[in-house]
């Protein structure tokens, strides 16, 4: 699936021909306060920073004085721009020319250098307390998700010819989801689907289908994804011709599933 280009809105300063009565100035301030929160290019972090000033303006719009609220970022969420670094490799072999990204949109990706190294700027907001990095290159898959923290990353990808449906190990605190992809025949029989795309989609609200891990089923329809969260996860799949699809929510503690394409 091709990334969607998302662009922010632009803001032009309002002209002013002369002094305005206090009531008019207050009305304009109220409108500007609402407009600022409507601008997607400000982002969540900017809204939080501006929340103190705008709260005072809104209080003035209501004719009351409100105390300045304390601004607390969501627990575990990234609230300041950061740059993550690391290497993309298959085993110990660095992979040059791999695309590394952490979501759809402009300025969310970079490319590894000759040593497989990358530096990826990350926006200062998040819908998910756990953030992910994906690496992709023709002829490879990334079956194990790669959550990022404050240390250099080692994002592992696997040659397609080396993929198997055997369950893959996961680090402590994360889990593996394995299973089989099948499709119903005209006779009502479940037939294994080889070479099906299977992915982990970290957005729990299904607003964004960006995959943080991708693999392909083997000749028997088997697949395995690893390093997934312990809570409920979304697994998406489609056949090689992209004519049948499925999305499955896997409950906590469930590690083996059947994905039925329809």
What are the residues whose beta carbons fall under 8 Å from the beta carbon of 51, sequence distance 6 or more? Answer: 69, 71
Q: Are 157 and 163 in contact (CB under 8 A)?
A: no
Q: Residue 178: is its pLDDT beyond 80?
A: yes
What are the residues whose beta carbons fall under 8 Å from the beta carbon of 15, sequence distance 6 or more? Answer: none
Q: Residue 101: is its pLDDT beyond 80?
A: yes
Model confidence band, residue 204 (pLDDT cutoffs 50, 70, 90): confident
Q: Residue 30: is its pLDDT beyond 60?
A: no
The pLDDT of residue 10 is 32
The pLDDT of residue 239 is 95
The pLDDT of residue 65 is 41
* Mean per-residue pLDDT, 121-131: 64
| Partners of 236 in the β-ladder | 199, 247
Q: Are 79 and 49 in contact (CB under 8 A)?
A: no
Model confidence band, residue 162 (pLDDT cutoffs 50, 70, 90): very high
Q: Which tokens is 253 given?
A: 């503690």
Structural domains in the chain plus CATH codes: 22-61 (no CATH), 74-160 (2.60.40.1120), 163-262 (2.60.40.1120)
Write down the pTM of the prediction: 0.68
The pLDDT of residue 49 is 37
Model confidence band, residue 88 (pLDDT cutoffs 50, 70, 90): very high
pLDDT digits (tens, 9 = 90+) for 41-76: 333 333 333 443 333 333 444 444 444 444 444 455
Model confidence band, residue 34 (pLDDT cutoffs 50, 70, 90): very low
Model confidence band, residue 106 (pLDDT cutoffs 50, 70, 90): low
The closest alpha carbon to 133, from 121, 124, 125, belongs to 121
Comparison of pLDDT for 102 and 217, the residue scoring more: 217
* Mean per-residue pLDDT, 97-101: 96
The closest alpha carbon to 247, from 220, 209, 191, 219, belongs to 209
Mean pLDDT of the chain: 76
Q: Are 206 and 221 in contact (CB under 8 A)?
A: no
The pLDDT of residue 244 is 95
């Amino acid at each position: 699936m091709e990334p969607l280009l998302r662009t922010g809105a632009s803001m032009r300063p309002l002209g002013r021909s002369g002094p305005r009565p206090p009531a008019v100035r207050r009305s304009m301030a109220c409108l500007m306060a609402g407009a600022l929160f409507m601008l997607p290019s400000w982002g969540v972090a900017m809204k939080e920073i501006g929340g103190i000033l705008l709260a005072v303006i809104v209080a003035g719009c209501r004719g009351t004085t409100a105390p300045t609220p304390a601004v607390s970022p969501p627990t575990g969420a990234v609230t300041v721009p950061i740059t993550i670094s690391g290497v993309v490799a298959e085993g110990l072999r660095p992979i040059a020319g791999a695309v590394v990204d952490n979501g759809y949109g402009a300025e969310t990706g970079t490319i590894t250098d000759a040593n497989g190294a990358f530096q990826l700027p990350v926006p200062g907001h998040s819908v998910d307390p756990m953030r992910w990095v994906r690496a992709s290159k023709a002829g490879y898959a990334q079956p194990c998700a790669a959550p990022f923290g404050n240390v250099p990353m080692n994002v592992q990808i696997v040659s397609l010819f080396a993929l198997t449906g055997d369950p893959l190990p996961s680090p402590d605190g994360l889990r593996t989801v394995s299973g089989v992809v099948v499709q119903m025949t005209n006779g009502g029989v479940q037939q294994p689907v080889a070479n099906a795309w299977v992915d982990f989609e970290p957005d729990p609200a299904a607003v964004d289908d960006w995959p943080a891990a991708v693999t392909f089923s083997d000749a028997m329809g088997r697949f395995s994804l690893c390093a997934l969260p312990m809570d409920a996860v979304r697994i998406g799949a489609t056949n090689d011709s992209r004519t049948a699809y499925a999305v499955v929510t896997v409950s906590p503690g469930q590690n083996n599933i059947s994905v039925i394409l329809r």
